[in-house]
Copies of this chain bind each other. A is one copy, B any other.
Amino acid sequence: MTKTNPGRFFEDFRLGEPLVHATPRTVTVGDAALYLAFTGARHALFSSDAFARASGLAAAPVDPLLVFHLVFGKSVPDISLNAVANLGYADGRFLAAVYPGDTLTATSEVIGLKENSSRKTGVVHVRTTGSNQRGEAVLSYVRWVMVRKRDETAVAPAEQVPALPEAVAARDLVLPAGLDLSRYDFALGGSPHAFDDYRVGERIDHVDGMAVEEAEHQMATRLYQNAAKVHFNQFERAKDPSGRRLVYGGVVISTARALAFNGLENAGLILGINGGRHVNPYFAGATLFAWSEVLDKAALPGRDDVGALRLRLVAAKDRPCADFPDKDAEGRYPPEVVLDFDYWAAVPRR
């Protein structure tokens, strides 16, 4: 038997199968600093212990997207080593804040299997859960990937596709324990815009642009201990039509989120991920731009200090977003658009 991990092929997955992912990970202020260096994120809550304490927390929590990337990275060797494509995310909820010193582990359960008509690949749905050292779930989300079959003649398991919500229900959103934004400092936050200042349908061009270098996405993806070959193996990627290493989609999400500070300064705290698609590949060197749309607004039960905005974040490469590049009526995206991401964020009320 070979000692190396060849990764699971489509016919290796079993419905209901629980997967314990390797390499537990203590998150530290070192990770938080690197996340700033990769993204330039400026949300006060994750940047300042003092600001977090004034918001009722023990210290600055780890940016939810960093938590997402770390949990996601753990799942790669068991789920997507032979993935052709990462098709989407849904039903993601951040269930408890993560603080420096916490240790994350990740498990997944296979919740959907569907062979493609070509019989060469199939779609695998998994629900992945990240937990802390006390066994408390900190993040749960579904993702689905297209995975190669090892043997095209292998009999596929019975088809099962999970029902997924179009969006996380606002009542299922969880705020970090202790959070109190009733005395939120908007000057330190970076803008006067509160929950009440955003309206459904509003679109915001985030103006700024940011290039990501090969070294940057590789370092970020390594930090997340995401070992997917496409991000690092240039020798192999040279045979791809693009000839390029593919940038981990999470790097695009985090870069676009950091750009979105300009207009969404006080919406740093992501509570849920409703959906997300990487609609075109992003290669290092191109400049990312982003725009957002307010899809929905929700009061949170029993809270008058904070509400939730449902936001759509669209990122484009080498394409400023003043005119909001978007999919057309048939759902086809312009080639410059690389990301369409739908999430809930907490925003202080005045």
Chain B minimum-CB-distance residue to A260: B4
Instruction: Tell me, yes or no, whether A214 is within 8 Å of chain B by CB.
Output: yes
B103 touches A50 (CB 8 A): yes
Identify which of A26, A38, A216, A245 gathers the most chain B CB atoms within 10 Å of its CB.
Answer: A26
How close is A282's CB to chain B, nearest CB, in angstroms? Answer: 13
Within 8 A of B (CB), among A68-122: 77, 100-101, 103, 105
Find chain B residues with CB under 8 A from A287 CB.
Answer: 232-236
A38–B3 Cα gap in the complex (Å)? 25
Instruction: Tell me, yes or no, whether A158 is within 8 Å of chain B by CB.
Output: no
Residues of A within 8 A of B (CB): 2-5, 20, 22-26, 28-34, 36-44, 47-51, 60, 77, 100-101, 103, 105, 133, 187-191, 193, 197-198, 202, 204-211, 213-216, 218-223, 225, 227, 229, 232-236, 245, 261-265, 285-287, 289, 318-320
A29–B222 Cα gap in the complex (Å)? 16
B103 touches A225 (CB 8 A): no
A28-B32, A232-B209 known; A37 vs B3 contact (CB < 8 Å): no
A159–B326 Cα gap in the complex (Å)? 47
A and B contact pairs by CB, cutoff 8 A, 27 listed: A4-B206, A4-B207, A5-B190, A5-B191, A5-B263, A22-B42, A22-B187, A23-B44, A23-B190, A25-B48, A28-B29, A29-B30, A30-B30, A30-B31, A30-B32, A33-B223, A37-B219, A37-B220, A40-B225, A48-B103, A51-B103, A105-B188, A208-B232, A215-B215, A215-B216, A216-B219, A235-B289
Identify which of A191, A215, A245 gathers the most chain B CB atoms within 10 Å of its CB.
Answer: A215
How close is A259's CB to chain B, nearest CB, in angstroms? Answer: 9
A50 touches B29 (CB 8 A): no
A219–B210 Cα gap in the complex (Å)? 11
Residue of B25, B48, B234, B320 near A24 (CB, 8 A) is: B48
Residue of B23, B24, B39 near A222 (CB, 8 A) is: B39
Find chain B residues with CB under 8 A from A25 CB.
Answer: 47-48
Q: Kindly list 18 other residue pairs between chains A and B, CB separation below 8 angstroms, not including A3-B191, A30-B32.
A: A4-B262, A5-B263, A20-B188, A22-B189, A23-B47, A26-B47, A26-B60, A28-B33, A34-B37, A36-B222, A39-B222, A40-B227, A41-B225, A50-B133, A211-B234, A211-B245, A227-B261, A235-B286
Chain B minimum-CB-distance residue to A103: B50
A320 touches B208 (CB 8 A): no
List the 10 shortest-distance A-B pairs measured between CB atoms, nearest first.
A30-B33, A22-B190, A40-B222, A235-B287, A215-B215, A24-B48, A28-B29, A209-B233, A213-B215, A30-B30
A42–B206 Cα gap in the complex (Å)? 36
A235 touches B209 (CB 8 A): yes
B216 touches A229 (CB 8 A): no
A3 touches B263 (CB 8 A): yes
